[in-house]
Structure 1
Amino acid sequence: MTTHEGTFCLVLHSHLPWLPHHGTWPVGEEWLYQAWAHSYLPIAGLLRRFADEGRRDVLTLGVTPVLAAQLDDPYALRAVHEWLGTWQLRAQEAGTLWRGRERLADLAAAEYRAATSALEEFETRWRHGFSPLLRSLVDSDVIELLGGPLTHPFQPLLDERVRAFALRSGLADTALRVGRCPEGIWAPECGYAPGMERGYAAAGVRRFLVDGPSLRGDTASARTVGESDVVCFGRDLDVTYRVWSPKAGYPGHPAYRDFHTWAHEVGLKPARVTGKHVPPRHKEPYDPALAADTVRTHVKDFVDTVVARLRELRARTGRESLVVAAYDTELFGHWWHEGPVWLDGVLRALPEAGVRVTTLRGAIEAGHVGGPVQLPASSWGSGKDWRVWDGEQVADMVGANTELQRRLLALPVARGHRDVVADQAVVEAMLALSSDWAFMVTKDSAADYARRRAREHTERFDELAALHRAGDPAAAERAAASRARTGAFGRLDARDL
């Protein structure tokens, strides 16, 4: 029998709110296309290479239904293709402008090669959207796929009927796209309220993520929740924060590319971090060779961190233990330029260091399940409670969402046939309930945009609901206009409420 230092699970959570037709810069569609080009394309390429090598159970990948819908949307597919071509042209223009400035000229050439490669990848593998590619990764067992509620709502604040509808509809949407229903979910914002495991069990969900403090830091094994057979996994924050700490995480290293500094004349990022308190005009030019050396150092550091943690847990528990590190997919490539290369290095180096690398499903099969636990109300956000989504700064939004759900549940729906007006009204309500809007307000990140988006979707719901209730002949036309902007879920059926 092969012995291991222990088991490591990497979980990536891929999510953006619905963005097509809702603004462009600096949030809106630009946000989607940057994440698509710099995170989703390289991560999918990395996973495909692992699959071609015969690797199985490499990582657990969460893809929210609302993101999957965008990556399959015909308008978004055309627009990102144009964006990739524009990236190539911007790099070409930078080469002209920066001629004679050695490091910047080299950077422009590297950007041109990256844009050209991304275009080729998109045109050959993404022409029909993300779902065919994602299905191939699921079918090859290189990943375990996690689903989630339809539009990533903060579930503890939802009426139970709305919560159940959002989860059922989200799982059904994923099953439609990839051919099978996920058994696990990344609970939006890792939000949990006592008793939610019963709803998970009813929907066929067998496992979900919580943050480490929900388990009082005891994340060395998964745990069944309450009296159910549903299993929760906790993020190991000691390991996860090695990467994702705002104070000392890898992406803030001086050698890495600076996310916030732009050369606006060409729309490229030419600088390295240099220092946390160095203003943009004084930052050093990006040096790919220096960054590559730093990546190798950070791969080794992370592997050493995981091994040390597993040995510590084994000494404490007397048995082989589990470490779960979980991150937003968009961290790798979009926020942290060097992230995909680091990820490749870590996933190759950990098995060489004697660590079993697998999925959440694989961790259960390896026996990493402990006894039942009673989870507290919790999330991954500030304070590990609900304050980000239910705090004073967003009290008005919470109240508006409560009233919206009341009106949603009162929406009259004919039972005998699909009703396109009611269907689209429900889509608008679900988009209004996305957890992103409250998060962006509380964190003061494009707060005006977030408030406007929540308000617009609520107003569209109310308009469609009023027209529908009145039997107004204009209702179908207004629903079609709404669907042209937010036609995210053609399968959604209001009767399922």
Structure 2
Amino acid sequence: MTPVPAEEGSFCLVLHSHLPWLPHHGAWPVGEEWLYQAWAHSYLPVVDLVRRLGAEGRTDLLTLGVTPVLAAQLDDPYALRSVHDWLGNWQLRARFAAGRWRGADPLLRDLAAAEHRAAGRALEEFETRWRHGFSPVLRPLVDAGLVELLGGPATHPFQPLLREPVRRFALHTGLADTARRIGRAPAGIWAPECGYAPGLERGYAAAGVRRFLVDGPALRGDTHAARPVGESDVVCFGRDLEVTYRVWSPKAGYPGDPAYRDFHTFDHPSGLKPSRVTGKHVPPERKRPYDPVLAAAAVARHADDFVGTVLARLRSLRERHGRPALVVAAYDTELFGHWWHEGPAWLEAVLRRLPEVGVRVTTLRGAIEAGHVGDPVELPASSWGSGKDWRVWDGEQVSDLVAVGAAVQDELLALPAQDPRVRDPARDQLVREALLTLSSDWAFMVTKDSAADYARRRAKVHGDRFGELASLVRAGQDARARRRAADLRGEDGLFGHLDARGLSCGS
């Protein structure tokens, strides 16, 4: 490839880290396994990559969104003990697989050995750096300017469906939670589901939020620069789908390559994934053994393709707009390592190759500083879901959840005023249950028919808990309300610092 000057354009990689809140000993359909898999296979290697590139003198490597819900889980003592156990079990499972595959295909034996080594490295990394949680790991990366951190509202609600006082309280609570963990509130957010309704920017400005992400269609695909929203000084960045979908689209993308490790095919006795994709229509029993040599070649090929795609896009945008352009590619962090085993290796190759060919790799903050800001724009109601509208979160399939969420908010705001001089643990828990009822995850799972029964059950559990506490508060049964709140607080462990007086005073 012919190198281009860095002034030709910039590339921003935005990763969004989010998993639903899994209560202690919770009943997620795969238990807490999903959290631990993402922790081991995505968060550890991605953070390690950032640290290694930072040691080479690099800065502004990527923009990382961490939802308050996930941050709470990754700092939680119960979760820390449990993931340490899981990592040890991973190593034991690899040792078992080595015995199970003795005399089998050499690729399977090599896989067992590689898994054992990977588990050992993860254990060492966890025991030396992560034993006190994610926040002590993340804060130095933010302070050193290696990553820009994005926050968000507490419990990941779909903000356009929230009453204004509830929306304000959720956002302030989420930003305050990040400040407690990292030492400062983030200036940018990844709004849950990229959900936007006209006027949200005013609430962002009041909360100190200066930038947020939308999906490309909200800008009619004109994503070459950040855009001030309306009459505010809050800017939005649009996800460039032409580039983003090279990696992961609704129908295609690199992770489906036949050489990559197959996420869905398990060796059930060991729990390992010993197969490569082989082919889209090949049944599990006919999948070929995973071959890391073939996978490495695919990583190199796809990294080259992506770098070429970014270059072509930047050149096209520069020709169209007459100025250096910006490309923003945004993904779930869990894609890299969890869903796509080779994702971290591909990510490292891309982050190394782009500067070599003259593209500035930067953060959203860095893009603004580099001058990638265009004219103001009026944004339509939008999200990054199907249809790019709100149908995933307020469609017919989830009309019952939407109705429950509206009723919970109305009941919450109609409760008797709280004495602002006294913090009430019952009120705190009541608000926590209300916000958990409003999580966007439940509607997403129902609409996409992904663990829909679990999602409805979780929404109902939190809604019922809210209703129980609200009835006690209305009846003036403060002692009973506080005892019940203490029981529930011991089960969820989420946002212990949440102070309901902020909602009472704001409403």
Fold match by TM threshold 0.5:
yes
TM-score interval w.r.t. the shorter chain? over 0.9
Q: Where does residue 411 of structure 1 map in the other structure?
A: 415
CA-CA distance at 1:482 after TM superposition: 0.9
Q: 2:345 aligned with 1:341, yes or no?
A: yes
Contact 1:254 1:274 (8 Å CA) reproduced: yes
**Contact 1:27–1:446 (CA<8 Å) still a contact in 2?**
no
Q: Does 1:458 align with 2:463?
A: yes
Q: Which residue of 1 aligns with 2:429?
A: 424
**SS in structure 2 opposite 1:120?**
helix
The equivalent of 1:482 in structure 2 is 488
Matches within 5 A, 1:218-257: 218-257=222-261
1:493 aligns with 2:490: no
After TM superposition, the structure 1 stretch with the greater mean CA deviation from structure 2, 442-451 or 23-32, is: 23-32
Within-5 A mapping of 1:59-458? 59-101=62-104, 102-412=106-416, 413-458=418-463
Normalised by the size of structure 1, how large is the TM-score? Answer: 0.98
Distance 1:246 1:284, change over 3 A: farther
Deviations 1:24-80 (A, max 9, x none): 564341111111111111111111112222211111000001100000001111111
Partner of 1:8: 11
Contact 1:24–1:30 under 8 Å retained in 2: no
Partners of 2:356 and 2:6 in 1: CA distance: 13
What is the distance in 2 between the residues matched to 1:297 and 1:70?
A: 36
SS at match of 2:213: strand
Aligned-partner Cα distance in 1 for 2:23–2:95? 27
Q: Read off the aligned partner of 1:67 and give its amino acid letter.
A: L
Kept in 2: contact 1:224–1:371 (CA 8 A): yes
Range with bigger deviation, 85-94 or 240-249: 240-249
* Aligned equivalents of 2:25, 2:481: Cα separation in 1: 22
**Letter paired with 1:182:** P
The 2-side partners of 1:248 and 1:341 are apart by 19
Amino acid at match of 1:479: A
Give the Cα separation in 2 of the matches to 1:290 and 1:411.
Answer: 62
SS of alignment partner, residue 270 of structure 1 = coil
> Which residue, 38, 41, 46 being the options, matches 2:44?
41
Structure 1: unaligned runs, 5 residues or longer: none
RMSD: 1.3
String of CA shifts for 1:114-140, please: whole Å, max 9, x gaps.
111111110100011001111011011
How far has the Cα of 1:466 moved from its partner? 2.0
Q: For structure 1, which segment, 479-488 or 468-477, has the greater mean C-alpha deviation from structure 2 after superposition? A: 468-477
Paired with 1:362 and 1:3, the residues of 2 have a C-alpha distance of 13
SS of the residue 1:145 aligns to: strand
Paired residue secondary structure (1:370) = coil
Partner deviation per Cα, 1:269-307 (whole Å, 9 max, x = no partner): 111111111111111111111101100111100000000
8 Å CA contact 2:42–2:334 kept in 1: the answer is yes
d(CA) in 1 for partners of 2:6 and 2:267?
A: 51
Q: 2-side partners of 1:28 and 1:47: how far apart?
A: 29
Q: Is the 8 A contact 1:212 1:234 kept in 2?
A: yes
Distance 2:148 2:349 in 1: 20
CA contact (8 A) 1:95 1:109 kept: yes
Query: 1:301 is aligned with what amino acid?
Result: D
AA aligned opposite 2:91: Q
CA distance in 2 between partners of 1:434 and 1:353 (Å): 42
SS of corresponding position for 1:278: coil
Specify the SS of the correspondent of 1:372: coil
Partners of 1:386 and 1:410 in 2: how far apart? 27
Read off the aligned partner of 2:424 and give its amino acid letter.
D
Corresponding residue for residue 35 of structure 2: 32
* Identity, % of aligned positions: 75
Moved more, 27-36 or 472-481: 472-481
Deviation of 1:3 after TM superposition, in Å, equals 4.5
1:172-220 per-residue CA deviation (whole Å, 9 max, x = no partner) reads: 1000100011000001100000111101011110000000000000001
| 1:473 match: secondary structure | helix
Query: Deviation digits for residues 348-402 of structure 1, max 9, x if unmatched?
Result: 1000011011000000011110111000000000000000001010011000100
1:481 is displaced (CA, Å) by 1.6
Task: Tell me by how many angstroms 1:472 deviates.
Answer: 4.9
User: For 1:21 and 1:452, how far apart are their aligned partners in 2?
Assistant: 16
Counterpart CA distance in 1 for 2:69 and 2:413 is 21
